[in-house]
């Protein structure tokens, strides 16, 4: 069994913890026969998030700076006879924003990366955070004498909270069938050029841990505020593109093996 280390980057409130929790609790295999299983290392996180998201219908609380959930999931495709392990650390978004030396080392050591953008974040702030992260990863990586200095690793660039950008059933269908085009139309325009400059092998994905609900041809909101102004997850939502970015990274890495 080949074990893969993936690193996750995303500013505060980008939705990293919710995505990692729902990845196991409500996995979507896109018809490819994949299943996600927890391990002893990830069980406390899974049980805590199961109570938080599914019983209380609340989003995860913000992670404390310095606190780390080291997660290990097994991805298994019994029909294809494939088994992969995902090692990932769930950290406070503040650490992604600051990008200290330890954060740079961790990201550069991973086999593949997932970058998580929050479309609701102030555009200039998000642009500056992403550009700073890409620049710092570049200058701390060993380039050798390659003519192409871009990062060759598979990098899944994900637009989180994509359910907030879906207005019609046609939008929902396009987010699944044409994820790259869906994201390019909605991301901060300058980011595409910066990602091209620093990343040689990447794919864009819209993701939603809360999901969407379509009834009688109408997209209904799943996320709402309760009487205490707490953000809650309503019933009947269908999360999407939770596992697809990871499967794409796995396929890219297996192609190199």
Residue-level pLDDT at 31: 57
pLDDT tens sequence across 176-215: 899 999 999 988 878 888 899 999 999 999 999 888 888 8
User: 257, 226 in Cβ contact below 8 A?
Assistant: no
pLDDT number for residue 126: 82
* 28 pLDDT more than 80: no
For residue 27, pLDDT beyond 60: no
Size (the chain), residues: 257
Considering the entire predicted model, what is its pTM?
0.86
Q: Is 169 helix (H, G, I), strand (E, B) or coil?
A: helix
d(CA 15, CA 72): 19
112 beta partners: 6
What percent of the chain clears pLDDT 90, i.e. is strictly above it?
Answer: 21
Q: pLDDT band at residue 13, thresholds of 50, 70 and 90?
A: confident
In the chain, % of residues over pLDDT 70? 90
Second CATH level (architecture) for the domain 2-256:
3-Layer(aba) Sandwich (3.40)
Q: Where are the domains of the chain?
A: 2-256
Burial of 182 (0-12, 13-18, 19+ CB in 10 A): buried
Whole-angstrom distance, CA of residue 169 vs CA of residue 75: 30
76-119 pLDDT, tens digit per residue, is 888 878 888 888 777 665 666 777 788 888 888 889 999 998 88
More confident residue, 246 or 102: 246
């Amino acid at each position: 069994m080949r074990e893969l280390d993936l690193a996750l980057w995303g500013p505060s409130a980008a939705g990293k913890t919710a995505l990692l929790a729902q990845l196991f609790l409500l996995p979507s295999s896109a018809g490819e026969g994949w299943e996600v299983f927890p391990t002893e290392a990830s069980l406390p996180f899974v049980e805590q998030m199961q109570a938080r998201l599914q019983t209380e219908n609340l989003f995860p609380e913000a992670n404390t700076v310095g606190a780390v959930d080291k997660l290990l999931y097994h991805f298994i495709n019994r029909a294809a006879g494939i088994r992969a392990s995902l090692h990932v650390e769930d950290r406070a978004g503040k650490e992604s924003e600051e990008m200290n030396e330890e954060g740079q080392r961790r990201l550069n050591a991973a086999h593949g990366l997932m970058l998580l953008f929050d479309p609701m974040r102030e555009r200039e702030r998000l642009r500056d955070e992403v550009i700073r992260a890409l620049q710092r990863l570049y200058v701390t990586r060993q380039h050798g004498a390659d003519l192409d200095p871009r990062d060759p690793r598979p990098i899944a660039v994900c637009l989180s909270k994509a359910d907030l950008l879906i207005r019609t059933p046609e939008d929902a269908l396009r987010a699944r069938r044409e994820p790259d085009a869906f994201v390019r139309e909605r991301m901060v325009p300058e980011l595409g050029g910066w990602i091209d400059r620093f990343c040689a092998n990447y794919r864009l994905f819209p993701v939603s841990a809360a999901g969407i609900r379509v009834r009688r041809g109408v997209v209904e909101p799943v996320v709402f505020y309760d009487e205490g102004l707490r953000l809650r997850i309503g019933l009947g939502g269908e999360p999407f593109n939770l596992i697809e970015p990871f499967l794409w990274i796995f396929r890219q890495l297996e192609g190199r093996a």
